Structure 1
């Protein structure tokens, strides 16, 4: 189960890439059209076009998830899988709308006025039923948000992986392989869509109840989210708790300028694009990251440097300072987190996890309202500074630096934890300085060694990557090299998992490494 969840979480990162672009397009372009430029000028029209692209991506999020998830979960022939995901999504929603029509439902009959005036429904019941439906790219269907894209993407990948190599008799050979998958998708979409017609209203009620629970749980729910998000990071499952809140109605629903936005990240983008918005939502389950990315983790990193042996301090600084800057500028925190996670997990779970949860609580208590949680992603705020309310960060960030610095320093010295620079032998804990990266092996050579240490091409069932890790599914886990070999000989920062599903942590350069490995394996 963990293997499949890890793979699924990784596939979700494919469509999420689009949302990073959306944030910049909408925030920056809308600031020019709303506050700076005069309507009708050439630049105004240009930025209007850019903003419209961003809103278009937002409007059709389910499409991108259908294609992206199918692509990400496919083992081979990923291009065909992505194409199949789009077909499944369109067929699925067409079936829902058509079958609903046979039951007497269309855009007119699901309107609140029709339900109340002609069918005698209570107003609340009518509004709840009406909220289930929408017009999506000309299709009358359920308003499932990205869940429809995720569902159809997952189902498509299952069909694709089962039948993409299907062979048929010679007379039907044209329909073999991926084309057979297309046929099966159009057929399977029928029972899938009809089943969704009956099941989705029940699930939607469950999501509504979950939303009410999160809202009613207040600061406890905020703490629980932040702590759980970090606690799941080592297992590669943290995306599964963050995605529903960030990109679905579980995180809340808000109407902005006549457009309904679901999920806290989507709501923030909507507020960035609205000239009437005076700030961003406070309870957004993201601003807590600012405290441990700007203050906490740099504090922990400098605690490692302070406790290193005198002769090793410069060497430790060569990894601590770049890693701290990376956290603040682009929000990639795993190089620091995995340094103390693998040395002593108690540092991670007894100090970092609870303080992470508390960070979300403090930013919510002090009403922090800002777009982005790392310097790079905060650039749009420069164009709309009047929407930012974050003065408390000038006190909270230094406080978090001090809290992490002194707690980590105390724990390291108290229990003599062998953080970087404190080992008895140079190779006991591996450092990665600038010289290490300059001397790093050629990418193709490293990729060949990675494949060899995974037990060879025939032992690799599937390989993908997220922002910092290679995610590998093996046929026989006993054929791969031990964890310490990956760290000492293959430039990895650590390995997660001990079964068929493992994750090899390489940091931000993992995308290049993954491409090289796939070329060695001759897969797309």
Structure 2
């Protein structure tokens, strides 16, 4: 058959859709990577650090709290971060103009949302952006329809598409100044306006549905935490775990801070001092700090004798990365696709850790991931954080024993146990 007659494999709609979801998952990593800075700033502004219960540097604490709060603001800061991050991540060959277009679109979108506050409940009356009760001389901030992080994510997708579609567009000569990249922010501003108008209309039923589903999971208590843990690890395999995380972590639930500001989402609520937060974060600490490093040790011990030194170095590196930072993908991907049964065990045990930790009353959280850095930084905000140590040690023993048994018993080809013909000789050019 000639090359001209050969046909390339057809790309199905499912492969295109699946590839888009994977790319979306990777794009969400960019705004998530900003959260450690937000968490550190917010933590330094807490009363027990620079505040009145700590060093007593009240004004310094206010500076740090305001800085961290700006990034963790669930109505403006976080949605804008996700909007810009997704726009950059999803647009092919994105540059600074992509981010500028996303910012312009988001500012218009947010301003239009703020123009339509919900009606105040009697006897309060809406004055400017306040619901005022003249009989009791009390006031409360008006409530607005705001899709939060979800709205920022959608606008980021729209901004990326508009940039790819129009960044090379050429207009008539007399409008030549607005060619290409200069045109995109103008179009994105219109898109932001339209999305805001649509959100004011359709978000209430959508928001109620998502909240009801999240509330049902929350009401299940430790069982709900366990279900979330299993689904989180399963979706990590295809790079889509952030799609599950974002509503529960950044939008569900509310907590009113002492200054009257309201924050939403498991992570922002925990960092703001909500003692009831952490249901969907606490159980990751035993897994990321203890269990997965123990799994890495089991993989190293199970390697062939002549390759153990090499595998020890590799597994020590990825184990320390998981323990200190909570970045687990290097360990998980080392066995996930070559030993699905091992990964299934890992997913189920992650769910068990989430359920047990929450069931024992541990409330802990993180700004980035469940590693030593966040564990130490947020000790003062957590409830029973010391319990994570014995829970983690117990899971480390279970992980090591199960992984070592399964690998040896079923001759799983984890790193260091591959057939010699499959081992690359790095000494050859």
TM-score w.r.t. the length of structure 2 is 0.83
- What residue in structure 2 maps to residue 518 of structure 1? none
Which of 270, 273, 283 is the equivalent residue of 2:272? 270
The alpha-carbon deviation at position 221 of structure 1 amounts to 2.0
Aligned ranges for residues 276-287 of structure 1 at < 5 Å? 280-281=275-276, 283-287=278-282
The alpha-carbon deviation at position 133 of structure 1 amounts to 5.9
Task: Give, in whole Å, the separation in 1 of the partners of 2:293 and 2:405.
Answer: 16
- What residue in structure 1 maps to residue 257 of structure 2? 256
* CA deviation vs aligned residue, 1:404-435 (integer Å, no higher than 9, x gap): 1111111112211222333341x63569xxxx
Task: Give, in whole Å, the separation in 1 of the partners of 2:278 and 2:61.
Answer: 30
Tell me whether 1:374 sits opposite 2:371 in the alignment: yes
Checking the alignment, whether the CA contact within 8 Å between 2:221 and 2:358 is kept in structure 1 is: no
Checking the alignment, whether the CA contact within 8 Å between 1:74 and 1:160 is kept in structure 2 is: yes
- What residue in structure 2 maps to residue 481 of structure 1? none
Aligned ranges for residues 68-467 of structure 1 at < 5 Å? 68-98=85-115, 100=116, 106=117, 110-113=119-122, 134=143, 141-249=144-252, 252-257=253-258, 258-271=260-273, 280-281=275-276, 283-349=278-344, 351-372=345-366, 373-381=370-378, 384=380, 387-425=382-420, 428-429=422-423
* CA deviation vs aligned residue, 1:357-401 (integer Å, no higher than 9, x gap): 11101111111133442112223246x37x441333332222111
Secondary structure in 2 aligned to 1:32? coil
What RMSD over aligned residues (CA atoms) do the two structures have, in Å? 2.7
Shift in CA distance, 414/207, structure 1 to aligned 2, threshold 3 Å = same
Task: Give, in whole Å, the separation in 1 of the partners of 2:141 and 2:236.
Answer: 34
Checking the alignment, whether the CA contact within 8 Å between 1:11 and 1:72 is kept in structure 2 is: yes
Checking the alignment, whether the CA contact within 8 Å between 2:230 and 2:350 is kept in structure 1 is: yes
Task: Give, in whole Å, the separation in 2 of the partners of 1:191 and 1:419.
Answer: 52
Question: Structure 2: 5+ residue runs without aligned partners?
Answer: 1-16, 127-139
Which of 56, 67, 74 is the equivalent residue of 2:70? 56
Secondary structure in 1 aligned to 2:276? coil
Aligned residues: 391
TM-score w.r.t. the length of structure 1 is 0.69
Checking the alignment, whether the CA contact within 8 Å between 1:232 and 1:238 is kept in structure 2 is: yes
* CA deviation vs aligned residue, 1:488-515 (integer Å, no higher than 9, x gap): 99xxxxxxxxxxxxxxxxxxxxxxxxxx
Task: Give, in whole Å, the separation in 1 of the partners of 2:225 and 2:181.
Answer: 45
Secondary structure in 1 aligned to 2:262? strand
Task: Give, in whole Å, the separation in 1 of the partners of 2:423 and 2:125.
Answer: 70
- What residue in structure 2 maps to residue 33 of structure 1? 51
Shift in CA distance, 49/179, structure 1 to aligned 2, threshold 3 Å = same
Displaced runs of 4 or more, over 4 A: 114-117
* CA deviation vs aligned residue, 1:182-238 (integer Å, no higher than 9, x gap): 332233344333322211111122122123211233333222111111111121111
Task: Give, in whole Å, the separation in 1 of the partners of 2:406 and 2:262.
Answer: 48
Shift in CA distance, 77/369, structure 1 to aligned 2, threshold 3 Å = closer
The alpha-carbon deviation at position 44 of structure 1 amounts to 4.1
The alpha-carbon deviation at position 70 of structure 1 amounts to 2.0
Checking the alignment, whether the CA contact within 8 Å between 1:294 and 1:397 is kept in structure 2 is: yes
The alpha-carbon deviation at position 114 of structure 1 amounts to 5.1
Checking the alignment, whether the CA contact within 8 Å between 1:309 and 1:421 is kept in structure 2 is: yes
Shift in CA distance, 94/335, structure 1 to aligned 2, threshold 3 Å = closer
* CA deviation vs aligned residue, 1:303-337 (integer Å, no higher than 9, x gap): 22222233332222122222211110111212221
- What residue in structure 2 maps to residue 14 of structure 1? 30
Task: Give, in whole Å, the separation in 2 of the partners of 1:406 and 1:284.
Answer: 28
